[in-house]
Structure 1
Amino acid sequence: MSTPHNAAEAGKIAKTVLMPGDPLRAKFIAETYLENPVCFNTVRNMFGYTGTYKGKEVSVMGGGMGIPSIGIYSYELYQFYGVENIIRIGSAGGYSDDLKLGDLVIGMGASTNSNFAHQYHLPGTFAPIADFDLLRKAVDTAEKLNVPVKVGNILSSDTFYDDDQDAKLTWKKMGVLAVEMEAAGLYMNAARLGKKALCMLTISDHLFTGEELSAEERQVGFRNMMEVALELA
């Protein structure tokens, strides 16, 4: 079996896939945490690996930047490879005053300025949300590992360089914790296909204070997030 974007053979991808945006981060996770990782995809250099973590089979694969990209990769994993759970692990820019650099944020809901939901011809506005079982397990795991965690609404934005400079303040007023670029598309694919999804984010910078993590601090913060996510497999 293969798709236009994934060369994996049937049965080579686990039921749970961790999905960072950066394919090189997928490679790092596989080589650092998985036992006997095997690369199943290199199409467009979007690396994917399957191995075991504490005896459980788990896969990790890049998802790219933006909803169109993760929309393709997550759909193919769910629809053609029998994947049941996709856990996005990425970085985010903080909005909330309560967030500190390095904090773990879990997207209970994912607001968006994307038109991705238009394809479903819904008679209203769809609210993309995480799977509750994955969400609850992630929160419990973070607490056991003493990793600070905030849960709430995030924004999946189509624009990294937004011409509307007031947009971030407007979203902040609505209680949105942080901004990233993929979760809403992932959550909608999961809803449409009857699958499970969760988005976990490390705050790498804050859009109101101007603070940002150093390269070393990012490494530590991302490791915390990766280890929580791996426990969910």
Structure 2
Amino acid sequence: MSGSSDSETSPLFEAKAFDEQSVFRPSALLENARRQKDLPERSVPDICILDPDGDIVRQLMATDEAAKDETWPGYHTDLYRFEYNGEEFGIVGCAVGASFAVLVAEQLFAAGCQFLISVTSSGQIIPKDDPPYFVLIDRALRDEGTSHHYRSASQYATLDADLCASVEEACKSVSRPVYTGTTWTTDAPFRETETAIERARSEGILAVEMEAAALYTFAEVRKRPIVCFAHVTNQMGQTEEDFEKGKADGSQDALEVIDAAATAWRSKN
């Protein structure tokens, strides 16, 4: 192509006016979806969950504990409502990857969400225990594209310190181990090379996942409370019994962690 070369700067870092509002807004998408589908306006629950693997949603549906919200106007997803320990939650399954997670997060906050929790399956980098266990992500390496549309380049995206401290304290009561630490967010899980993994180890990174850096960057820029957990379930397919989450595909353990985070957020608000 005329005028282009491999030596040019990536468009990922060009034409990013971070202080300029987007022409395309999540509220416009929701309004038009309601118009097209003839849906009433209904706020989502205060606390919502992203379940990239979909295991929590599937378990809740299998046990008749969740119901699909027929008024949810998202084009690409379904929202389910359920109660846990007297709290109503909204949950969206299978929103995997940074761009999809932030797309849904934008819509959820535009629809009334006040606090968002993400629990994603992740690969072990530096062992803290035998999988499965959880990592409360306090910062995430920005090795993905979405966050770079929200904020200028920096190595890490970080969880709000006060929120981190309160959630960390609340998670001491859950039955599965919950460690606090750093993850590596990647857009390309099948490019987790030895070189990339060794770089992550040298940075003290505990696990690799696909959403946290983008969600935390969005949270910081938009002033939205988001907490991300890595559910460390595998060693990147290097053992015969990898990807085992435990009873009910790990959903019961995940709900316990989610409940602890929700309790911490409620206590601060």
Structure 1 length normalisation: TM-score?
Answer: 0.82
Structure 1 stretches lacking a partner, 5+ long: none
1:192 Cα offset (Å) = 1.5
**SS at structure 1 position matched to 2:127:** coil
Corresponding position of 1:25: 56
Contact between 1:85 and 1:197, CA under 8 Å: does it hold in 2?
A: yes
1:100 maps to amino acid: D
- Of the three residues 69, 72, 91, the one matched with 1:60 is 91
Code of the aligned partner of 2:95? G
For the 8 Å contact 1:16–1:85, the answer to whether it is kept is yes
The residue identity in structure 1 corresponding to 2:220 is A
The separation in 2 between residues aligned to 1:202 and 1:186, in whole angstroms, is 16
- Aligned residues of 1:26 and 1:47 also touching (Cα < 8 A): no
Structure 2 residue 242 is matched with structure 1 residue 219 = no
1:128 partner SS: strand
Read off the aligned partner of 1:169 and give its amino acid letter.
E
2:8 match:
none
8 Å Cα contact 2:185-2:208 kept in structure 1: yes
**Deviation per CA, 1:116-147, whole angstroms, max 9, x where unpaired?**
2332463x526312234543343333321232
Distance in 2 of aligned mates of 1:161 and 1:5: 34
Which of 137, 144, 147 aligns to 1:114? It is 144
Structure 1 residue aligned with 2:100: 69
Residue 183 of structure 2 corresponds to residue 154 of structure 1 = yes
Residue of structure 2 aligned with 1:95, choices 105, 125, 136: 125
2:213 corresponds to 1:184: yes
* C-alpha displacement of 1:165: 3.4
The percentage of aligned residue pairs carrying the same residue is 19
Matched with 1:230 is 259
Contact 1:138 1:228 in 2 (8 A): no
What is the match of residue 104 of structure 1?
134
Q: 1:230 and 1:27, CA in 2 relative to 1: closer, same or farther beyond 3 A?
A: farther
**Amino acid of the structure 1 residue aligned with 2:172:** E
Aligned match of 2:223: 194
Alignment length (residue pairs)? 230
C-alpha deviation, 1:204, in angstroms: 1.1
Root-mean-square deviation (CA, aligned residues, Å) is: 3.1
Q: Is the 8 A contact 2:171 2:261 kept in 1?
A: no
Question: CA separation in 1, counterparts of 2:237 and 2:168?
Answer: 26
| The 10-residue stretch of structure 1 (180-189 or 220-229) with the greater mean CA deviation from structure 2 | 220-229
CA distance in 1, matches of 2:245, 2:212: 26
Q: Which amino acid aligns with 1:28?
A: Q
State how far apart, in whole Å, the 1-side matches of 2:85 and 2:55 are.
22
159, 183, 188: which one pairs with 1:130? 159
Paired residues of 2:48 and 2:115 also in contact (CA < 8 A): yes
Q: For the structure 1 residues 120 and 164, does the alpha-carbon distance in structure 2 shift closer, same or farther, using more than 3 Å as the test? A: same
Question: Match of 1:107, as an amino acid?
Answer: I
Structure-2-length-normalised TM-score: 0.73
Stretch moving more, 219-228 or 186-195: 219-228
